[in-house]
Structure 1
Amino acid sequence: MTKKVFKFITVDNVEKEEAFLEEMASKGWFFSKYALLRYHFEQSEPRDYTYCIDYKEDAGDEAEYLTLFEDAGWEHVCSYPILNGKWMYFRKAVKEGAPKEAIFTDNDSMVALWKTIRSRWSWFGGVVVLMLIALGLISLFTSTYIIGSIFIFTVAAILIVLYGKMYIRMTRKIKLRS
């Protein structure tokens, strides 16, 4: 049996996403793919898994990258392409009595990941917001209906808050680990 779950988790909350996937696995729902803000799960016997998420920039070395994780015992679950890179989802069965494993074992690699995420999503959010503001201004001056412009400016404001929150949280994480 399969199950799709809509869950909105922002890029600054990777830990929350990993915990969600681990909780679902403990209930017998195993993550299989992500598409259109929906997590897809396959049902089986409950197991404890550690899920880890990485953002891999497109560099033409994906086969070597995946082999590195496979050699370390991580199973590649799926990839989700976005912004000239991919979210890479991995899992590993939890060994009884062993500490939780992670793909990032040092501060420098974790900080580098957060800086990459902060940079890519800040640029993306900034471009989208500027386009929405331009569209809103065009609509304001060319349309007889102001409601369209109000809607566009509202969406832009929501995105400013969302991306601003993401930028601040990522900056705090970077400062704590640096």
Structure 2
Amino acid sequence: MLKFFTVDNFEKEGMYLRSMAQKGWHFKAYKNFKYIFEKSESKDVYYQIDYHSQAEGDKDEYIQFFEDSGWSFAFSYPIFDGEWIYFKKESSATGTAEIYTDTSSKINLFQKIRKRWCLFGIFISIFMIMALFINGLALESPSISLYVIMILALFVIILYSKMIVNLTRKIRQLQT
């Protein structure tokens, strides 16, 4: 199934995976904007997604911590210097339906994600602006490639701005 969620909407991604499990399609993997599901019996399964960077310590200990809390490791997706880690838990299991139950942990998660993707967005934007500048200097008249790069640069700037604004809003809501 082809589906796209931005990092500021990873909670919606978890809800999407839960709705698919309720229909009998259980999440197995994610690759190239495609979700891979396995058909089985319908179950109510909570999915939670977390970002774990290599700087935060051993991945096995990190996963064990959540497994000790009743969550099962489902999948990991490497990105930057860390990974998106997918956890799952059947709704009939004990405990909460969220891996982060306190406000300060949620705020820290949103701040960590905002920082990483803000830096990446700035890097990509600078790279595209430089490509525009170099392409513009090399051409005597504008070409299709210049317009394509301009559109892509504008799209990236808007997308990353939206993510940063949404994550900042979530942080402020939790702080009040």
**TM-score, length of structure 1 as denominator length:** 0.93
| SS, match of residue 31 in structure 1 | strand
Matched, 1:113 2:116: no
**What is the number of equivalent residue pairs in this alignment?**
173
Matched, 1:39 2:35: yes
Query: How far is the alpha carbon of 1:150 from its aligned partner?
Result: 1.2
Structure-1 separation of matches of 2:52 and 2:105: 12
Residues 12-161 of structure 1 correspond to what in structure 2 (within 5 A)? Answer: 12-59=8-55, 60-95=57-92, 101-144=97-140, 146-161=143-158
Counterpart residue type for residue 75 of structure 2: C
Identical aligned residues as a percent: 41
**TM-score, length of structure 2 as denominator length:** 0.94
| SS, match of residue 95 in structure 1 | coil
Q: Which runs of 5+ in 2 are unaligned?
A: none
| Structure 1 stretches of 4+ moved >3 Å | none
Structure-2 separation of matches of 1:72 and 1:175: 28
Query: How far is the alpha carbon of 1:99 from its aligned partner?
Result: 7.9
CA contact 1:137–1:149 (8 Å) conserved in 2: no
Cα-to-partner distance string for 1:69-96 (whole Å, 9 max, x where unaligned): 1111111001001010100000000118
Structure-1 separation of matches of 2:149 and 2:131: 7
CA contact 2:70–2:95 (8 Å) conserved in 1: no
| SS, match of residue 70 in structure 2 | coil
Structure-2 separation of matches of 1:16 and 1:66: 22
Structure-2 separation of matches of 1:154 and 1:130: 14
| SS, match of residue 108 in structure 1 | helix
RMSD across aligned positions (CA): 1.4
Q: Which runs of 5+ in 1 are unaligned?
A: none
| SS, match of residue 49 in structure 2 | strand
